[in-house]
Amino acid sequence: MSDFHHLAHSKQQSKSMKTLWVTLLLTLFFTIVEVIGGIVSNSLALLSDSAHMISDVFALGLSMIAIYMARRPSNSKYTFGFLRFEIIASFLNGLTLIIISVGIFIEGIRRMINPEPIDLRLMLTIAVIGLIVNIVLTFVLSRSMKEEKNLNIQSALWHFIGDLLSSIGVIMSAIIIYFTGLLFFDPIISLVIGAIIFTGGARIVRESYLILMESVPESFDLEEIRGEIGKIEGVEDVHELHLWAISTEHYSLTAHVFVSENIQPACIILGINEMLKEKYGIWHSTIQTELARIHNHGEYGREFLRQKEASVK
């Protein structure tokens, strides 16, 4: 018999799934077009954008796998289900963006030192098509984010915001070079594109890293929550308080509380759980009730008892 969970440690994300399929197919098609165009036109800005598009395909593939994994129910080995894979995928996506941006920086500096000829017409044509595609995909992903919050979709959206800005940069580069003949604008624009890609990647890596490290989610104030738990009738002290995210919007909290001997522990636990649900949206909490005179917490417990006795006197 499988273990019972009052919360399903899984996500059914039908909207995100459909969005990613459409986005993946369109991205894969245009990536092939842009890679060929970048090689033929010899534009670093266009090749930088195509490299970013390749990372998009990789990112979307990982996101698809993450959503399929998140739908699987928890079992006796993976008691929290497979939600954490969403965060692992996001971390890898962000890391990919950073690696690509570093490659663009290196090649951009090389091209600034040794400028190379460019087929401006082909470069501009593909960039305009890319701009249209990226506007459509950014819009589609933005709408999906409003319906289902998902760090994977957010990381994919950052990819396409970078692509959108990249396409604009490539178009600007082609126009400037056409009127001025200054070829170094191509690597300059690619460096700007690289900086945008790096920024998005760093943000995704940071967010996913914090979740993987089980840090307190930024939307919560742990000391405020400690104070609110302390207001529940019968609670005398709150310690061993931990709050973390399994995945986006899937939070877990554990705490030990010294309680009054005059109130039923079950009533105290119920009061804490209801407060956490109503005030903070935390549905998965584990509260351990303790009596300070029985449960040994070393110096901390002894100091609590001294203070309690002193207040009574």
For residue 238, the SS3 value is strand
Alpha-carbon distance 251 to 232, whole Å?
Answer: 21
Tokens 């302390």 belong to 230
Superfamily per CATH, domain 14-212:
Cation efflux protein transmembrane domain (1.20.1510.10)
Close Cβ partners of 5 (under 8 Å, ≥ 6 residues apart): 74, 79
Backbone angles phi, psi at 115, to 5 degrees: -60, 145
Beta carbons of 130 and 64 less than 8 angstroms apart: no
Q: What is the pLDDT of residues 248-265, one digit of tens each?
A: 778 999 999 999 988 899
What b/e string do you get for 258-285 counting C-beta neighbours within 10 Å, with b at 16 or more? bbeeeeebeebbebbbebbeeebebebb
Element (H, E) at 248: none
| Type of residue numbered 12 | Q
pTM over 0.75: no
Where does CATH 3.30.70.1350 sit in the chain? 222-312
Q: What is the pLDDT of residues 3-15, one digit of tens each?
A: 544 445 445 455 5
Class of the 222-312 domain?
alpha beta
**Is residue 298 left, alpha or beta, with left meaning phi > 0 and alpha meaning psi from -120 to 50?**
left
| pLDDT in the model for residue 236 | 93
Contacts 24+ apart (CB under 8 A), 274-280: 275/228, 275/229, 275/232, 276/225, 279/228, 280/220, 280/225, 280/251
Q: On the CB side of 148, how many CA atoms lie within 13 Å of its CA?
A: 18
Please list the rounded mean pLDDT of every run of 10 residues in the chain (313 residues).
47 60 78 80 72 72 75 78 81 84 83 79 80 80 62 66 76 83 81 82 88 91 96 94 86 93 91 95 92 81 81 67
For residue 74, the SS3 value is coil
Where does CATH 1.20.1510.10 sit in the chain? 14-212
Backbone angles phi, psi at 77, to 5 degrees: -95, -45
Close Cβ partners of 32 (under 8 Å, ≥ 6 residues apart): none
Q: Which of 269, 242, 273 is nearest to 255 (CA)?
A: 242
Q: Which of 154, 249, 158 is nearest to 211 (CA)?
A: 249
| pLDDT in the model for residue 1 | 41
Provide the pairing of β-strand 284-290 with 235-247: unpaired
